[in-house]
Amino acid sequence: MSKLRINKQTKPGQEVVLVSIDSAKNENQAYCVLSNDQAEIPSFKFSNEHSGFVEFGAQIRAFASQHGKSQVWLGIESTSTYGKPLIHFACQQGWEVRWVNPVHTYRMKEIHDNTPDKNDAKDTYIISELMSMGKLLQYNKRDTLSEELRSLHRHRHQLTKQLTQLCNRAESLAAEAFPELPKLVKRGLRSKTIWHILEHCPLPADILSKEESWLAERLKKASCGQFKGKRVKELINKAQYSTGYCPNPIATRQRFKGMASNFICFAGRLRSVKLKWKNC
């Protein structure tokens, strides 16, 4: 089996200014040093806003110009979430962005000062050390289509996970209140028909209180004509001889109704995401 190959970077040359970043929600910590360690800007903070980015960019450009350097490398941990706007800003400035493995950062902490203590200034210094050693990964900026597909894929995965968790919770509740219900349809709690029943008459007593004609009409419409006739009678029969036990019917009905609303919402959003995926 072939292994995944990551394009690792070599050590920076003499014409490079190394800028290491420890990103956070409100403020970023930065440390700037020449690749030959002859000059540096001590660790400083700047806000995660436009004014902070502009001030940060001006300071780095002035430092590079002062020492006659033509390249700027910005190093940041690859798991950084708050640093994405800053990465976009760096690309606009013509700087090169490099990923640093957070595992390497963690391991270097004890080597730096023999303690595993964490602080922003220390992290930026360690990231800078890793950059000077060439322990980097290349940042490949994706085109718009690739970013759209990647984002849609993640959103689809999250919605699928939420839908599965919702079905699992409903199945656990139904196993107590009406265990025969999910077995009526092959797809179980993935079926819109079952969720329609759970929304309007989730308990055996609720089904038995409805007229057969009312059930047949509602379920035929909900299932696009698939659930009718014998299947409606089977539902009534299952409700009549159900082994379910529900000591709190009011709360159970409310829970099923809320779950049904969430199922309709998640299923609709999932269909929309899949459609947009195909149209990309």
pLDDT score of 51:
93
pLDDT score of 5:
43
pTM of the model: 0.67
State the Cα–Cα distance between residues 115 and 269, nearest whole angstrom: 48
Question: Which segments of the chain have a pLDDT < 50?
Answer: 1-7
Cβ atoms within 10 Å of 101's Cβ, excluding its own = 16
CATH 3.30.420 at 9-141, yes or no: yes
State the Cα–Cα distance between residues 88 and 74, nearest whole angstrom: 11
Length in residues, the chain: 280
Where in the chain is CATH 3.30.420? 9-141
Where in the chain is CATH 1.10.287.4070? 146-279
pLDDT score of 8:
55
Q: Architecture of 146-279 per CATH?
A: Orthogonal Bundle (1.10)
pLDDT score of 113:
66
pLDDT score of 131:
86
Helices (H), the chain: 50-66, 84-92, 102-113, 120-132, 144-177, 192-200, 204-208, 212-222, 230-240, 249-279
State the Cα–Cα distance between residues 164 and 169, nearest whole angstrom: 9
